[in-house]
Amino acid sequence: MKHHTLRVSPETVHWGYFSKAVTPSLVVRSGDRVTIETLTHHANDDHERMIAGDPGAEAVFAWTREHKGVPRRGAGPVTGPFKLGEGEGVGVHLLTGPVVIEGAEPGDVLEVRILDVRPRPSCSHCYAGRCFGSNAAASWGFHFRDLIEEPKPREVVTIFELDTAGEPFARAVYNYVWTPQTDPDGVVHATIDYPGVRVDHALVNKRENILRNVKVPARLHFGTMGLAPSESDFVSSIPPSYTGGNIDDWRIGKGARMYYPVAVPGAFFSVGDPHAAQGDSELGGTAIETSLTGDFEFVLHKHDELGGSILEGLDHPLLETDELWSVYGFTYANYLAALGPDAQTLIGAKSSLDPAMRDAFRKLRRFLMTVHRLSEDEAIALLSVAADFGVTQVVDANWGVHGSIRKNVFTDR
């Protein structure tokens, strides 16, 4: 076993997409451990608190008329003319990687163990050592067309500080309504529509003393983590799918094990979208988007060794913790295959929880029948009396429902 470190830099991150075509940032073997730094794509909501003085973050977010640290931001076109910028924001998450696993082949399953997760402190002189994150109640949020106060519509950014002394929690510092921001290339962003735009705080009205007497328990986790799909060289980071991605489940934190079906040689693992806290549904658009560093262990399970294990027949992401197993249902289990060449642009108009619930039911039924050798009637009875289904997210185009079964319902027979 070797222990590697993968730091953030313009050479080790890719912005807004999973890819089987990107040059790997690291190559490891099964059993290796890797410390991986990740950055939130929302850090420029408060540049002073979340970027200033941090060499890695400054290099990644660098953007002047002459230089853009990471030019392509999204899975869209790379040749202009552009409306928003290279990649056109078709995918928004900063992902560190890819990490290639030697010997990984389609049909295998990659197990990713999250050994530890910790916040990335501010390097700003004024806020050194403190940790911050941003929450955007944005235009893609479930709430956006159902506002009751003026002005309507509006996008609101709330900046949180994370207290890591003792049991970690977050408190709101201030918020502001998004106002049009002009990027260094002269594009005006009337809404939050392209990642990494620096907010000019002279143009927003900060509202302090908000969410008084409220503290949010921290749930440090990675919202977007998974492998490269096979269907396209560049796949938007926004909709989750059969190889993982933007699942946005707060349970994918320290102590969790995620299992992903390998779709391309080498697996091509990437991780990002780090969160300080999130509830089920991520209703307003984002979690508390912060920057985190994680310690990971990679274990490759070869296809011919899966029979008789919990991975038998697995063709979708699976979460395991000490307490439970969870599967993830989506509007489309594999939207890339279901919707064809234009899938990445079509999926946003096709989200629904009904098929996501159906998908989660079918996946958990299969798990109980295949892994625990239950009959269909036994599985359905157990699903009704002991399984928990919840809304994972309603903001990622391919909406999600998780289905969980607790380990303590099974006893030795």
pTM value? 0.97
Element (H, E) at 318: strand 318-320
Residues 6+ apart with CB under 8 A from 214: 171, 172
Strand-strand pairing, 131-137 and 156-163: antiparallel
pLDDT of residue 284: 98
Buried b (16+ CB within 10 A) or exposed e, 401-413: bbbbbeeeeeeee
Q: What region does 273 belong to: left with phi over 0, alpha with psi -120 to 50, or beta? A: left
Tokens standing for 186?
């002269």
CB 84 within 8 A of CB 192: no
Q: Which amino acid is at 179?
A: T
How far apart CA 110 and CA 101 sit, in angstroms, is 9
pLDDT of residue 166: 84
Element (H, E) at 208: strand 207-208
pLDDT of residue 165: 86
pLDDT of residue 275: 98
How far apart CA 390 and CA 400 sit, in angstroms, is 9
Which ranges constitute the DSSP H helices of 35-152?
Answer: 47-50, 55-61
Taking only the tens of pLDDT, the chain with its 413 residues reads 899 999 999 999 999 999 999 999 999 999 999 999 999 999 999 999 999 999 999 999 999 999 999 999 999 999 999 999 999 999 999 999 999 999 999 999 999 999 999 999 999 999 999 999 999 999 999 999 999 999 999 999 999 999 988 889 999 999 999 999 999 999 999 999 999 999 999 999 999 999 999 999 999 999 999 999 999 999 999 999 999 999 999 999 999 999 999 999 999 999 999 999 999 999 999 999 999 999 999 999 999 999 999 999 999 999 999 999 999 999 999 999 999 999 999 999 999 999 999 999 999 999 999 999 999 999 999 999 999 999 999 999 999 999 999 999 999 65
How far apart CA 42 and CA 310 sit, in angstroms, is 37
